[in-house]
Every structure is written in structure tokens, then in C-alpha cells.
Amino acid sequence: MFFGTRKKPDGPTQSQIDYAKELYRMFHGRELKKSELTKENIDRIISEYSNKLHSVINE
């Protein structure tokens, strides 16, 4: 048996999806559509909007 060798999921985790949805809602005032929930889009939203959020907080 191989313990601790669990494969990581290919797509984003539920917490990443929730975080991306919340960031998007803060900046655009609307929900993400189901068709917009791609791995690439979620990664882009998290990196882009996290940076924007941190710059707003630090001002």
C-alpha cells in the first residue's frame, strides 16, 4: 500500500471556486456564470483580483 500518495484533483478545489466567485462578485457586482467556471478563468480571477484587493487594502 502507498500511503500519502493521493493524486491532486485536476480542477480547482471547492474553496478556490468559492473564493473566485466572491472576488468576482466584489469587483463586478454579479455572480459568475456556470460557463465561466473554468480552471483557467478561476486561476486568472484569483491572481488578478487578489492583487487588486490587496492594493486597495494597502492604500
Q: Is 4 left (phi over 0), alpha (psi -120 to 50) or beta?
A: left
CA dihedral 22, 23, 25, 29 (to 10 degrees): 150
Residue with cell 487578489: 50
Say what the pTM is.
0.73
Convert the pLDDT of each residue in 10-55 to its tens digit.
788 999 999 999 999 999 999 999 999 999 999 999 999 988 888 8
The CA distance from 1 to 9, in Å, is: 20
DSSP 1-19: --TT-PPPPSS--HHHHHH
The CA distance from 40 to 17, in Å, is: 11
